[in-house]
A and B are shown apart, each in its own frame.
Chain A
Amino acid sequence: MKKKFWILLGILISSILISACVGRYHISIVDIIEILKGNPKSTMDASVFYKIRLPRTFLVVLSGGALALAGTVYQMLFKNPLVSPDVLGVDKGCSVGAILAILYGGGSMAALSASSFLFGLLTVCLALLLSRFMRGNSIYSMVIAGIVIASLANSIIMLLKYTADPNRELPVIEYWLMGSFNNGNMKQLQTISPMIFAATFIIYLLRWKLKVLTMGDEEAKSLGISVGMLRAIAILCATMLVSAVVSVAGTISWIGLIIPHLVRVIGGEDFVENFSLSLLCGGIFLLIADILARTLFTAEIPIGILTSFIGAGFLVLFLCNKKFRSV
């Protein structure tokens, strides 16, 4: 396992370097070395590197890792490899918050981020509350509650889109929903990093208990685990991870669903051992998608298009692969 870690780390670092080079304004590796030495070829070089490229690159890596970890945690909590973090409606909730900010927030990016983050958390809390009032198996009621709340959120989204100005506001909304790191900057990185680090750290501390939780509530309880509290904390942390990413980049789908599978194929199924692999794979995958988003066509395309496309392809590969242990 250690070998895989270093290989992936190597791939990540290479991807970071490539990411720092490519884009509308090209910087070569040599130029980067000069910039880091404090001797840039031009002030434009340094400016683009430090203010745009580097923050964006790290933002993408962080986001990829966060989404991948959140997906892994959700799949473990729901004991189903076909679950994505959207099962409790966090994506839809964030969208509601973002659209409200676009329509009534006066164009402020900060308002957009804050609103989508808060609404994302709120939506999941609502879904969890609803599931408590439902009888029966806890996982089942969470899924049903998630469907209900996500559907409610979706109807609000549709209503808001309907009332939006088709010339000015609707395109902004649609672009946001597709997901993009186009506006990635240092401020965003500084805002969401603490949240992502905090949530990741908490999940890291709880990794053993989460693993035991997947054996079922009764067995977990018989081994001394406070099942309800652990589940609530884990969902909250995973949701924070997703909300943080979505608040700066819009809804990016498929990472939370696919990367956990990829990690299982590469590194086996043990969550405790795979923890770092999830973060690395997520970061690499999203970074490659972002690089492609910037380079495939002359104009940058929303990253969500690529993640959906590649994600669907990967899923087909997994389901058809004999080595993949299906449910």
Chain B
Amino acid sequence: MEICLKQVGVLLQKREILRDINLNLEKQQMTFLLGLNGAGKSTLIKAIMGLLPISAGNIYYNGRQLKDLSIKERARQIAYIPQNSELWIYEKVKDFILTGSTPYLKTFEIPKSEWKQRREEAMAEFQIEHLRDAYMDAISGGEKKLAYLARARVQDADWMILDEPTAALDYKRQHEFMNQLKRYSEKEKKGILLSVHDPNLALKYADYVVILDKKTVKACIDRRENDFENKLMEVLRQIYGDKLKLIEMKGFYSLDWREE
């Protein structure tokens, strides 16, 4: 499924947060959203999800307008992994993951054994079976994110949208998470959109990078194009400043912040 944004604008409490956003997100690739604090990454993500109303333009899921889709249909197309989960009381990990079935349940239906089977598979895929009876508020940040991934797998939507998923993860877990995500995306052929702060993650894992600046899309860089790394660096320097440098060593690239 493709997600398409045409001239989208978003107002939050009468302030313009996003303006003239034009995007074409292809399925089955990992799209990274970069930008400074306050550039509008979370807002854009929520607008794409349909969690925020848009004041201008249109959003299309596979050619159909977002506003024409029912809330359940949207939920079947996109799985959402928020940055912070709203504190709720008393939920076991296994029950939490099972809620991924909700978009497919009929009005009064309860998930039965077939969904529980899918939950087991999801827990196995992300290796969190041992957390089955643990409580969501008693596990670590990294484990929580894996639980969210498992739930998204049960939800089995074409797209997964994550709002700064690595923000609270330690260095090792950030990369493990990215690899998990990439593996899942390739294996199940899902599209992934996520926002990150660290441009190196985008450099390393992204198929497509969208840079937000000054309320609109500054640039979109595709890995399949020539010279992806340098093009990315050029754009990033325009928002992060001259101190950003691209380092290349034996074919591997990395971005570095150099004061000199």
Q: Could you list which residues of chain A lie within 8 angstroms of chain B, going by C-beta atoms? A: 79-81, 205-209, 211-212, 214-219, 221-226, 264, 269-270, 272, 325, 327
Contacts and interface: CB of A to CB of B under 8 A. Distances in A.
Nearest to A264: B90
B142 interface: no
A292 B146 CA distance: 52
Interface string B140-168: 00000000000000010000000000000
With most chain B CB atoms within 10 A of its CB, the pick from A205, A219, A269 is: A219
B108 A206 contact: yes
Given A222-B51, A224-B74, A212 B82 contact: no
A225 B91 CA distance: 18
Contact of A223 (B50, B103, B107): B103
A216 B148 CA distance: 14
B109 to A, nearest CB: 7
A222 B75 contact: yes
A79 B95 CA distance: 17
Interface string B46-76: 1001110000000000000000000111111
A208 B110 contact: yes
Contact of A215 (B46, B49, B99): B99
> Which are the 10 A-B pairs with shortest beta-carbon distances?
A216-B86, A269-B90, A224-B75, A222-B80, A224-B103, A224-B72, A205-B108, A223-B102, A214-B88, A208-B110
Contact of B71 (A81, A221, A269): A221
With most chain B CB atoms within 10 A of its CB, the pick from A205, A207, A221, A222 is: A222
Nearest to A326: B89
Contacts of B85: 215-216, 219
A237 to B, nearest CB: 14
B139 interface: no
A208 B86 contact: no
Interface in B74-129: 74-76, 78-80, 82, 85-92, 95-96, 99-100, 102-103, 105, 107-111
B82 A270 contact: no
A136 B95 CA distance: 30
Contact of B99 (A81, A212, A218, A264): A212
B89 A79 contact: yes
7 contacts: A206-B108, A211-B95, A215-B96, A222-B49, A224-B71, A224-B72, A269-B89
Given A221-B50, A225-B102, 5 more contacts: A216-B85, A218-B82, A222-B80, A224-B102, A264-B90
Given A224-B71, A269-B89, A208 B111 contact: yes
Nearest to B133: A268
B83 to A, nearest CB: 10
Contacts of B82: 218-219
Nearest to B107: A205
A227 to B, nearest CB: 9
A208 B78 CA distance: 21
A325 B46 CA distance: 33
Contacts of A207: 110
Given A208-B110, A327-B89, A221 B102 contact: no
Contacts of A214: 88-89, 91
Contacts of B107: 205
Contacts of B72: 224
Given A206-B108, A208-B111, A222 B79 contact: yes
B6 to A, nearest CB: 23
With most chain A CB atoms within 10 A of its CB, the pick from B51, B73, B86, B91 is: B86
Nearest to A76: B89
